[in-house]
Structure 1
Amino acid sequence: MATPRALGLPDGVRACLFDLDGVLTRTATVHMAAWKRTFDEFLRATDPALPEFSQEDYNRYVDGKPRADGVRDFLAGRGLDVPEGSAGDGPDARTVQGIATRKNELVLRELDEHGVEVYEGSVRYLRAVKEAGLATAVVTASANGEQVVAAGGFADLIDTRVDGVVAAREGLRGKPAPDTFLAGARALGVQPHEAVVFEDALAGVAAGRAGGFAFVVGVDRVGQADELASSGADVVVPDLDRLLGDGS
């Protein structure tokens, strides 16, 4: 049986907590496209002179965060004050909740039409983690975590899941607060110093560092290795299988 060190992790690690979008699945690109369409439509209707939503905006304001938090942070970054609205607001409502609803509808449509792509190297690493006897959790801000894990075909490799639905039910703050990762560790029966966080988002890496976890792995999918390291990643890799001791 492989040891944590063979997985590129410190000795004494008992559990691995994986973000979903951008770490195990390619759905980060789907989310980026949905956010861009949602925000660009809103910005054009508000003031055509406002700059369009960019990859930098995605990385800075919304990646890894609960939808409504991402909406608030991005709009604040553009100097816009938009009513909060209510959770039942439809996708055409010019409110924080309405914008969040519009974005989610676009994501669900894309997933329904095209399914879920996985990062084969990361799923290979996840399988090696399970074979090594370590506990596993998916920790994601997405309210669609259950569907994405099932569609990705690796539900049998995940012991527990803390997603947007769980966070809302339990009143957990979103990343960069460490609440959801700490909840994942509790669900697996381990202490933070016995667990590793795997994240591609700056907010997620910051959450892992704030939670006092043994090790934080940054996954660089969009050319932000330096920013991931600055946010608290102990190591940054382009895909998780780079951590495997056999180098394959």
Structure 2
Amino acid sequence: MTELGLPDTILACLFDLDGVVTKTAVVHAAAWKETFDAFLRDYDGQRGRPFDADAEYDEYVDGRPRADGVRAFLDSRGIALPEGAPDDPPDARTVHGLGNRKNDLLLAKIRTFGVEAYEGTLRYLEAVRAHGLRTAIVSSSANCRDVLRSVGAEHLFDVRIDGIVASERKLPGKPHPDTFLAAARDLGVEPSAAAVFEDALAGMDAGRAGSFGYVVGVDRVGQAAALYAHGADTVVEDLAELGGKQ
């Protein structure tokens, strides 16, 4: 399947949302930074070093479910908070409270600035489907469906495994492979016949752990070496580089 840049054994393609289909990764990073910086200033001046929206975002929160990202980052700073509950208010000093604060900020930023899709990805998706391959969106975001609708891309996916579905099915998030495995299962293909498209290091880890047939790293921020180190079979800056012209 050289016209798509994929092995001939691939029957389905599993796409991450933020940073692969839509230009929302930078908005997520900004919302996390605002959340964590305010918390760190309030929590302890000695530990108030600002959140690094590049390195720490990539290492601890990118691609992970919100609560997992909060736990990973706080652990890196030696901070322990009560778990709280999923419906904690955004000002609660709990893991879920911080996660909900971040989500409120994210939605506000999206409402203000809107969402854009990567045109190269949309063209590639159209080509993939024209060649008879099935497609799934796999995202830790609970806002996945609304974001897809906002860019007119919901129809490009046969299956959606997002934060809501993962919670309902009790699927651990990336870097665990369970959400991608669920997408492959819902599409009726073995992992070895599915390709994973990810920009997050946690997503690369999930692709490797799930023994998928091909893992494509999408490098939007100049981290090609890290994507390869975490399991990518190939790395591109835009999916248009893979081909897909109809």
TM-score under structure 2 normalisation? 0.97
The equivalent residue for 1:58 is 57
The equivalent residue for 1:159 is 158
Return the letter of the residue paired with 1:127: E
The equivalent residue for 1:99 is 98
Return the letter of the residue paired with 1:6: E
**SS across alignment from 1:136:** strand
Pick which of 119-128 and 168-177 moved more. 119-128
CA-to-aligned-CA distance 1:84-121 (integer Å, 9 cap, x gap): 11112100001001000000001111122222111111
The equivalent residue for 1:118 is 117
The equivalent residue for 1:34 is 31
The equivalent residue for 2:19 is 22
**SS across alignment from 1:20:** coil
Any conservation in 1 of the 2:123–2:244 contact (CA below 8 Å)?
no
Structure 2 portions without partners, runs of 5+: none
When the two chains are superposed, the root-mean-square deviation of aligned CA atoms in Å is: 1.2
The equivalent residue for 1:238 is 237
How far did residue 48 of structure 1 move? 2.5
The equivalent residue for 2:6 is 9
Return the letter of the residue paired with 2:78: G
Any conservation in 1 of the 2:127–2:244 contact (CA below 8 Å)?
no
Any conservation in 1 of the 2:14–2:137 contact (CA below 8 Å)?
yes
How far did residue 245 of structure 1 move? 6.2
CA-to-aligned-CA distance 1:26-77 (integer Å, 9 cap, x gap): 0101100000000000001112333111110000000000000000000000
What is the aligned residue count? 244
CA-to-aligned-CA distance 1:148-205 (integer Å, 9 cap, x gap): 1111111111111000000000000110100000000011111101100000000001
The equivalent residue for 1:225 is 224
Return the letter of the residue paired with 1:234: D
How far did residue 123 of structure 1 move? 1.1
How do 1:171-210 residues align onto structure 2 when only pairs under 5 Å count? 171-210=170-209
Return the letter of the residue paired with 1:166: V
TM-score under structure 1 normalisation? 0.96
* Whole-angstrom CA distance in 2 between matches of 1:164 and 1:28: 16
The equivalent residue for 2:40 is 43
* Whole-angstrom CA distance in 2 between matches of 1:130 and 1:83: 45
Structure 1 portions without partners, runs of 5+: none
Q: Sequence identity of aligned pairs in percent?
A: 58
